[in-house]
Amino acid sequence: MRGVLFASDLHLSPQRPDRAQVFFEFLEVAGAHAEAVYLLGDLVEFWLGDDDPDPLHRALVDALNTLTARGVRLSVSVGNRDFLMGPAFCAGTGAALLPDYHVIDLFGRRTLLTHGDLLCVKDVQYQQFRRLVRDPTKQQRFLGQTLEQRRQIASQTRTGTQESMLAKDDFIMDADENEVASVMSAHQVTHLIHGHTHRPQIHHFTLAGQPAQRVVLGDWYAGNEVLWCTPAATSLLPAQDLVTTLTRPTASRK
């Protein structure tokens, strides 16, 4: 049975080639069984622009293009590390870029998708930074600089971000439950899927008197948790376990 795959926070980088290889192999297997793939942000550690010739980024584009060439629908939601993905990325991969919030029909369930950073409203410092770097004028000014200049800025930003995170309580960097409820109500959904917080879990709660569900995807630093959905089931599990399940002989899956 073909399903729909969700993953986020791959944070692929040249410094972790093993993780990239795991993802490319996973994508090849999952792509043979998925009708659609949704990648909900932070595919790479830094995306400095579609013109970046980084070999890993080119390998990612090629792998995603192979996926869509097989007829798999690919949708990508940018995160706080790859928000500069643009038209050339879409042309090279066959992907559709999603807006900050996007509603899909997931086997009859009206489901909201987002990267997840907008849900972390207690992190006021980050939200201010997000508004700054998402400004189109500032983005064009950044893209107008040389790649070396962009790398230096990205490196400095990463150092500042890491120092800032160490000074914050964990709850500040997590999704705010009130914001979650507000956003879900505004989009008239009872199901939400997001990443960003690196805290994989399926949350069950009540929203306006109805059963609701929030799925938090995992990161690819350690756990590699992805979400696999079919009309019959929803499973949040490590990518390696999903590969084992999908490649198991049909008879043993019954």
| Domains with residue ranges and CATH for the chain | 3-121+170-253 (3.60.21.50)
How many CA atoms lie within 13 Å of 78's alpha carbon, on the beta-carbon side?
Answer: 20
As beta bridge partners, residue 204 has 213
Q: Give the other-Cβ count within 10 Å of 169's Cβ.
A: 9
104-140 residue pLDDT tens: 999 999 999 999 999 999 999 999 999 999 999 999 9
Contact of 41 with 116, CB cutoff 8 Å: yes
Tell me what percent of the residues of the chain surpass a pLDDT of 90. Answer: 85
- The residue-averaged pLDDT of 143-163 equals 86
223-237 residue pLDDT tens: 899 999 999 999 999
Prediction pTM value: 0.93
131: Cβ–Cβ under 8 A, 6 or more apart, which residues?
A: none
Q: What pLDDT was estimated at residue 254?
A: 43
Q: What is the dihedral of CA 62, 83, 113, 11, to 10 degrees?
A: 60
